[in-house]
Structures are given as structure tokens and as C-alpha cells.
Structure 1
Amino acid sequence: MRRTGPLLALLAGLAVLIIIGTTVLVRTVSSDSADTKDSPPPPLTATTATTAPPAPPPVPQTAGGTFASRVPGSRAVVALTVKDGDAIAYVCDGRSLEAWLRGKVYPEGLIRLQGKKGILTGSVQGNTVIGAASLSRQRVMGFRAPIVKAPSGLYRAAARTTAGAQIVGGWIVLPSGAQVGLVNYGARAEPAPVLDPATGAVTIDDERIPVAPADPGKP
């Protein structure tokens, strides 16, 4: 049976915020209308004529960083790296489930990422990303991922062996030191070898493969 609790909680929270915001807006507009309906407009004075309207609040800027956490009720782990308005995410359970997703960070920190295997949506709220991933043949997975510091983070390898085989690998390193990842050799996927982030490489089929922090701006 699919567990949609995290997603329903997220949607319910968003719905409450929308309802509260709409209610406050309606009450504000109604109050302003009632106050001005039977009252003549104030006389135009030098002060009111020359006073500039208040400047709108600045749009908050989303800081870059990497966010990671386990998905409640699942073996999967999710990690996202945000940089210069772009974002890359990796969802993986270390066995058979994995998906790379890319996209943009929009105003107010909203995120929408897409890949061959699904989509991920959410928002950056301070030092946390709250969102949900919908992947092919998988239930919708809600998550709350706090920001992490190196060596924790999201790492990626994309290289060709001397024999010409394409290798693409992903690693999520959690603050506890636990790692989850897969390495793809064409159509074959295997659990990723343990990564030492300090070395920036792993050995696969007796070849040294470079590994680097995932960059939204790179393939």
C-alpha cells in the first residue's frame, strides 16, 4: 500500500497557508473598503503629494548549497545541489532505484526538476528543502532535506573507460558517514563502491574514475 503521508502533510500545509493568506487578504480589502466607503478622501496636501510610496520588499535570494536526507518510509535517499539558480538532484536506494533530475530555482525558492524517470518539486525554506519526488513506477516520496556540509553531499562521476564503456555514477554522503549510490555501466547498474571524498576518485574495473561534487551546470 502506498504511503502518502508526507506528501499529504505537505499539500495540507500549503493549502492552510493559501487559505490563511486569502482570508487575511479578503479581510484587509473589506476593512479598507468599509473605512473609505462613507468617508471623503483626505485633502491633497504638500506632504501627501510629494511622499513616495513605500518600496516593495526585495525578493529573497536562494543561497547555494547541498541538501540531503533519507526519505521517510523508504530505503531511498535524496540529495539536491543548488548553484546560481540551477539545481541538480539525485534519488537513490543503493539497489535498483535511482534518478537524476535537473531544473531551476524560481523566485521565492520554488524548485522544479525533471529527468527521464520523473519529476521533483519543492521549495527552499531557509536551510531546508521541503518537497516531493514522483518517479516512474514508484510512489510519490515526500521529504524534508536539511543543508549539509562537506564532506557530506552529492557526488557524480561521468567518464569513459579505456575500453570505451560509458560510466555514470552517483553518491550521496550523509552527515552520519553513510553512503548510498549506484554506478551504471551502460545498461547495467551496481552498488557504487565506497567513496573517499578527499581522494576525488574511485576504482572501477581496475580503472581510476574521477568523482566530483555534482554541479548543476555540468553534464
Structure 2
Amino acid sequence: MRRTGPLLALLAGLAVLIIIATTVLVRTVSSDTEPDASPPPPLTATTAAPAPPPIPQSANATFASRVPGSRAVVALTVKGGNAIAYVCDGRSLEAWLRGKVYPEGLIRLQGKKGILTGSVQGDTVIGAASLSRKGVMGFRAPVVRPPSGLYRAAARTTEGAQLVGGWIILPSGAQVGLVNYGKEPRPAPVLNPGAGAITIEDERVAVAPADPDAP
């Protein structure tokens, strides 16, 4: 007999965080709406549009957006059934998270600083990142196309320090990222996505789109 308990627990946990994320997004959008604005008419059985199908597990896509009510941005790259995400505010907050995309379109990623859960809905990921001491940050991230996306550098410096850098490039051209190599994280230098490398502290380091299967 198949054990459904763990799967049901996972689905329940994801549902709770997605509800929290949706509540955060609704409150943020509501606060920006004019008080006298007329609400849209309710959807009826004849006007409701069907939900877009989830991206299949074989698809490769990157999603990115700003987090409402925060300086942070979030980007997530899906490759087959695996995913990698980066949350960063360009100052001190950053977190790398990795995990799975399940057949139902549900996502659960985990890292040293927290977890990220969500749901792939057509060309958008709706989810929430729960990071240490930062609470729950809800987001709605659409698909982005190159050169927008999530980029990562991971290498050893000539002094033997482990260097890890992350960049999120939004469709507007804005970049947010941090570089960490044994010191306090510092703002990442501006990245030319087509160069394939960047100079950091006199070190030439390879940079590539983040790959869920790479270290």
C-alpha cells in the first residue's frame, strides 16, 4: 500500500504558505488602490477564464520579480523537475534555495537560511519565501527572457576562499545581487550577461545562468 501521509503533509504545508503569500499580495495591491475605485464585476460561470496549465516538468524557465513591500527581489530557475532560487535585496539579505518541482506544479525549495514554496501557474510562479528573521515574503513572479534572469558565480579565489555571487536581472534592466567570499556580503558589480565572466577583487570569475543541477 502506498504511503500517502508524507505527500498529504507536503501538500498541506504548501497550501498554507501559498495562502499566506496570496494574502500578502492582496493586501499590498489593495493598499495601492484608490478608495473610490470601482471594484471589478464578479466572475460568473460564463465569464470565468480557465486556469492556465502548469509548466511541464520537462520545461526550462526562469521567473523573477520584486517582492511587494520589500527591497528584495526573487528569481527562480526551473530545469526539468529541479529548481534553484535566489532572494536578495542588494544590501545584506540573500539566500540560495534548491529543491523540486512536483508533477502538480508545486515547488518546495530549501537552503541554509529558509524555505521557499509555491505553485507554477501557467507562466507565473505564486509563492512565499520564509527566511530567518525576515518573516514570510509573498511574491508573484512571471517568466522572464534572456538577458533577464538569474546568474550565479561559484569558484575558489587564488587565496583559497570560496566565492559565491548572485545576480538577478529584471526586464527593466535593473540588477540586484551580492558577492560573498569569506567576508561580509557586498553589492555585486554590474554584470554583462553576455561576457560569461566578471572581475571581482582582481579575480576573473566565470558567471553563467543559474543551473539547478550545478554546485
After TM superposition, give the deviation of residue 111 of structure 1 in Å: 0.1
- 1-structure distance, mates of 2:95, 2:116: 10
Question: Does the alignment pair 1:216 with 2:209?
Answer: no
**Residues 159 and 167, structure 1, Cα contact 8 Å, conserved in 2:** yes
- 1-structure distance, mates of 2:151, 2:25: 28
1:95 aligned to 88, 91, 94, which one?
A: 91
How many residue pairs end up in the alignment? 171
TM-score (norm 2): 0.75
Question: Does the alignment pair 1:118 with 2:126?
Answer: no
1:141 is aligned to 137
What letter matches 1:8 in structure 2? T
Q: Give secondary structure in 1 for the equivalent of 2:138.
A: strand
After TM superposition, give the deviation of residue 187 of structure 1 in Å: 3.7
Write out aligned runs for 1:1-219 (5 A): 6-8=21-23, 61-62=56-57, 63-219=59-215
Q: Give secondary structure in 2 for the equivalent of 1:8.
A: helix
After TM superposition, give the deviation of residue 206 of structure 1 in Å: 1.1
After TM superposition, give the deviation of residue 69 of structure 1 in Å: 0.2
After TM superposition, give the deviation of residue 162 of structure 1 in Å: 1.4
What letter matches 2:56 in structure 1? Q
- 1-structure distance, mates of 2:25, 2:81: 23
**Residues 7 and 140, structure 1, Cα contact 8 Å, conserved in 2:** no
After TM superposition, give the deviation of residue 70 of structure 1 in Å: 0.2
- 2-structure distance, mates of 1:61, 1:218: 21
Structure of higher CA gyration radius? 1
- 1-structure distance, mates of 2:200, 2:25: 40
- 2-structure distance, mates of 1:207, 1:192: 13
After TM superposition, give the deviation of residue 165 of structure 1 in Å: 1.7
1:41 is aligned to none
Identity %: 78
Q: Whose relative contact order is higher, 1 or 2, with alpha carbons under 8 Å and at least 6 apart? A: 2
Q: What does the per-residue CA deviation read over 1:63-87, in whole Å, with 9 as the maximum and x for residues that have no partner?
A: 2200000000000000000001000
1:48 is aligned to none
Alpha carbon RMSD of aligned pairs, Å? 2.2
After TM superposition, give the deviation of residue 113 of structure 1 in Å: 0.3
After TM superposition, give the deviation of residue 166 of structure 1 in Å: 1.3
After TM superposition, give the deviation of residue 7 of structure 1 in Å: 4.1
- 2-structure distance, mates of 1:132, 1:189: 23
- 2-structure distance, mates of 1:201, 1:77: 22
Larger % of helix: which? 1
After TM superposition, give the deviation of residue 8 of structure 1 in Å: 2.2
What letter matches 1:64 in structure 2? N
